[in-house]
Amino acid sequence: MFDTIHEECGVFGIFENRTANVAASVYFGLYALQHRGQESCGITVCDDGIFRHKRADGLVSEVFTREELDKLGSGNIAVGHVRYSTTGGHNHNNIQPLVIRHIKGNMALVHNGNLVNAAELRRSFEMSGAIFHGTSDTEAIAYSIVRERLTSSSTEQAVERAMPFIMGAYSCILMTATKLVAFRDPNGFRPLCIGITHDGAYVLASESCALETVGAEFIRDVEAGEIVVIDKDGLRSITTNCGEKKHICIFEYIYFARPDSVIEGISVHHARQRAGELLAKHSPVEADIVIGVPDSGLDAALGYANASGIPYGIGFIKNKYIGRSFIQPQQDQRENAVKIKLNAVRESVQGKRVIMIDDSIVRGTTSARIVRLLREAGAKEVHVRISSPPFLHSCYFGTDIDSEENLIAGRCHSTEEIARYIGADSLGYLPVDCLGELVDNRFGCCKGCFTGDYPVDVSGAGCKNKFDEKIHR
Per residue in 120-129, pLDDT (tens digit) is 999 998 888 8
Domain span at 380? 262-451
Residue 30 counted as domain residue: yes
Residue 174 counted as domain residue: yes
Residues 291, 213: one domain?
Answer: no
Residues 27, 58: one domain?
Answer: yes
Altogether, the residues listed in the chain come to a count of: 473
**Catalytic residue (one of 9, 41, 249, 446):** 9
Show the 3-state SS of the chain. CCCCCCECCEEEEEEEEEEECHHHHHHHHHHHCHHHCCCEEEEEEEECCEEEEEEEECCHHHHCCHHHHHHHCCEEEEEEEEECCCCCCCCHHHCCCEEEEECCEEEEEEEEEEECCHHHHHHHHHHCCCCCCCCCCHHHHHHHHHHHHCCCCCHHHHHHHHHHHCCEEEEEEEECCCCEEEEECCCCCCCCEEEEECCCCEEEECCHHHHHHCCEEEEEECCCCCEEEEECCEEEEECCCCCCCCCEECHHHHHHCCCCCEECCEEHHHHHHHHHHHHHHHCCCCCCEEEECCCHHHHHHHHHHHHHCCCECCCEEECCCCCCCCCCCCHHHHHHHHHHHEEECHHHHCCCEEEEEECCCCCCHHHHHHHHHHHHCCCCEEEEEECCCCCCCCCCCCECCCCHHHCCCCCCCCHHHHHHHHCCCEEEECCHHHHHHHCCCCCCEECHHHHCCCCCCCCCCCCCCCCCCCCCC
pLDDT band at residue 460 under the 50/70/90 scheme? confident
For the chain, the average pLDDT equals 90
Check pLDDT > 80 for residue 219. Answer: yes
What's the pTM? Answer: 0.92
Residue 428: per-residue pLDDT? 98
Share of residues in the chain with pLDDT > 70 (%): 90
Q: Is 9 a catalytic residue?
A: yes
Residue 464 counted as domain residue: no
Residues 226, 351: one domain?
Answer: no
Residues 229, 281: one domain?
Answer: no
pLDDT band at residue 4 under the 50/70/90 scheme? low
Do residues 338 and 294 touch, judged by C-beta distance below 8 A? no
Do residues 88 and 432 touch, judged by C-beta distance below 8 A? no
Check pLDDT > 90 for residue 24. Answer: yes
Residue 251 counted as domain residue: no
Residues 286, 431: one domain?
Answer: yes
Structurally, how many domains does the chain consist of? 2
Residues 208, 276: one domain?
Answer: no
Do residues 385 and 428 touch, judged by C-beta distance below 8 A? yes
Check pLDDT > 90 for residue 331. Answer: no
Residues 182, 310: one domain?
Answer: no
For the segment 56-82, the average pLDDT, to the nearest whole number, is 96
Residues 173, 271: one domain?
Answer: no
Residue 327 counted as domain residue: yes
Distances (CA, A) of 297 to 10, 225, 300, 433: 21, 32, 5, 20
Tell me the CATH number at 385: 3.40.50.2020
Q: How far apart are CA 144 and CA 158, in angstroms?
A: 9
Residues 170, 289: one domain?
Answer: no
Residues 230, 271: one domain?
Answer: no
Residues 186, 289: one domain?
Answer: no
pLDDT per residue as tens digits for the range 360-386: 999 899 999 999 999 999 999 999 999
Residues 85, 192: one domain?
Answer: yes
